[in-house]
């Protein structure tokens, strides 16, 4: 055997420098290089296959999906059912192998309508976590029509590619949540005669993405790197979930319901309408009156709503979910070996203040933060191992804050 054959073909170390040198037909490899190669191969294949792999056996049924979402999101049963059924049918459509018939299942994108803090984004994020598919959240307010200052429509897919580690096949089966979709509504129900580059123009640009087409995506953003090589992404199998508060759409719904009530049964029908939650009567017609163009409404066939959060729901949100606010604070203090306890009336006080400020579930965190910030500053430097928050202290901390009721 020659001197060359006694060296590792990868690192170049000789037989005397390594614990084990394995000989192959055309070269050698030492045990260290073999271990590194095995680690790299494992990481590569886990990223490309296991992380985003879905099959008929692992795809959760709608009831299983809802049971998982129930652990993180309180209430909103109607929205949960609609979302879980739509997501299940979408991925069942991707897994269909029988192509002998002429029935082609079309994609069903979803639009969620609900006040701020009711859980639109949390619902989409939780379902994506269960499915183990690439998921990204995009804010529609930063999007503008191509050629104007802002982000291009294609930046939505750039974000999805980044989440999928630029694995195009994985990204093409992902979920995109477009938040604040109501902010790109045109100013009136009539077509615009002037350029509306951040409203109607964005809606028209979104059509090709929602419908399903091959889009050339700049992997690093379009304007900062104009010479980069484009990546072709097929959006036909990407599920789009749009969410928005649609502030003021209740007036459109109320006007439509009133105009439809004609005849001797008018008083009876009016009595049946729940005026405190008009969103449950929302229809595509109301979205059009709000300012969404008919073409984009047609590409969002599943329309569902989220109920406003009442006192009971807010109280449950504070303590019940797996990642509830109170559980998060307890875990933070437990990392400093401190046992944290809240008096029951403190939790009720936080809920009452959140209703007063009209901030939904997000208001719970804001109020709790005002109460806890001083403790989180002082306790880690002290020797205390027990902390109880009484109502009097909670009121004092909140009253010092600058938040004022809406």
Residue 76 · residue 123 · CB < 8 Å: yes
Of 152 and 282, the one with more pLDDT? 282
Could you identify the residue written with the tokens 């690093």? 220
Closest CA to 356 of 327, 302, 395, 388: 395
Q: Does domain 311-400 have CATH number 3.60.40.10?
A: no
- Please state, in angstroms and as integers, the Cα–Cα distance from residue 216 to each residue in 84, 101, 164, following that order: 30, 31, 17
- Is the pLDDT at 221 greater than 70? The verdict is no
Tens digit of each residue's pLDDT (9 = 90 or more) over 8-51:
989 989 888 899 998 888 889 999 999 999 988 877 765 554 46
What are 111's strand-pairing partners? Answer: 242, 303
Query: In the chain, what are the domain boundaries?
Result: 4-50, 62-305, 311-400
Q: Which residues are CB-neighbours of 387 under 8 A, at least 6 positions away?
A: 333, 338, 339, 340, 341, 375, 379
Residue 319 · residue 351 · CB < 8 Å: no
Tens digit of each residue's pLDDT (9 = 90 or more) over 82-120:
999 988 988 888 877 555 667 777 888 999 998 888 888
CATH architecture of 62-305: 3-Layer(aba) Sandwich (3.40)
CA 371, chain centre distance (Å):
28
Q: What is the mean pLDDT of residues 123-144?
A: 86
Three-state secondary-structure class, residue 94: helix
Return the number of other C-beta atoms located less than 10 Å from residue 35's C-beta: 10
What are 177's strand-pairing partners? Answer: 137, 241
Closest CA to 79 of 280, 244, 305: 305
Of 224 and 183, the one with more pLDDT? 183
Q: What pLDDT was estimated at residue 331?
A: 94
Q: What pLDDT was estimated at residue 1?
A: 46
CA-only gyration radius of the chain, Å = 27
Distance of alpha carbon 261 from alpha carbon 279, whole angstroms: 18
Closest CA to 257 of 218, 237, 232, 286: 286
Q: What is the pTM of this model?
A: 0.74
Give 105's DSSP letter: P
- Is the pLDDT at 196 greater than 60? The verdict is no
Distance of alpha carbon 241 from alpha carbon 109, whole angstroms: 6
């Amino acid at each position: 055997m020659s001197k060359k054959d006694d060296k590792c073909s990868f690192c170049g170390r000789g037989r005397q420098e390594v614990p084990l040198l394995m000989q192959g037909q055309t070269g050698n490899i030492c045990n260290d290089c073999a271990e590194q190669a095995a680690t790299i191969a494992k990481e590569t294949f886990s990223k490309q296959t296991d992380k985003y792999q879905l099959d008929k056996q692992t795809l959760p049924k709608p009831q299983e999906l809802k049971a998982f979402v129930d652990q993180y999101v309180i209430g909103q049963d109607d929205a949960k059912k609609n979302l879980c059924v739509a997501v299940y049918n979408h991925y069942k459509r991707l897994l269909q192998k029988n192509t002998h018939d002429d029935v082609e299942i079309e994609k069903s994108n979803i639009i969620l309508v609900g006040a701020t803090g009711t859980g639109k984004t949390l619902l989409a994020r939780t379902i994506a976590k269960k499915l183990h598919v690439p998921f990204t959240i995009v804010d529609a307010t930063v999007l503008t029509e191509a050629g104007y200052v802002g982000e291009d429509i294609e930046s939505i897919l750039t974000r999805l590619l980044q989440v999928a580690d630029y694995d195009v096949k994985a990204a093409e089966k992902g979920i995109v949540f477009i938040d604040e979709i109501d902010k790109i509504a045109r100013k009136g129900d009539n077509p615009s005669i002037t350029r509306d580059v951040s409203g109607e123009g964005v809606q028209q640009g979104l059509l090709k993405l929602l419908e399903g087409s091959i889009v050339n995506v700049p992997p690093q953003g379009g304007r900062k790197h104009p010479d980069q090589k484009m990546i072709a992404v097929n959006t036909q199998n990407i599920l789009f979930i749009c969410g928005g508060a649609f502030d003021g759409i209740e007036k459109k719904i109320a006007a439509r319901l009133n105009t439809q009530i004609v005849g001797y049964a008018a008083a009876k029908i009016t009595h049946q309408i729940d005026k405190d939650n008009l969103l449950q009567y929302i229809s595509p017609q109301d979205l059009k009156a709000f300012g969404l163009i008919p073409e984009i409404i047609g590409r969002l066939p599943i329309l569902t709503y989220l109920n406003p959060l009442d006192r009971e729901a807010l109280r449950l949100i504070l303590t019940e979910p797996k990642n509830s606010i109170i559980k998060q604070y307890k875990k933070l203090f437990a990392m400093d070996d401190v046992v944290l306890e809240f008096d029951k009336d403190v939790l009720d006080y936080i809920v009452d203040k959140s209703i007063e400020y009209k901030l939904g579930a997000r208001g719970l965190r804001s109020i709790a933060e005002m109460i806890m910030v001083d403790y989180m500053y002082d306790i880690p430097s002290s020797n205390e191992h027990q902390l109880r928050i009484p109502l009097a202290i909670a009121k004092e901390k909140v009253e010092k804050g600058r938040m004022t009721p809406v």
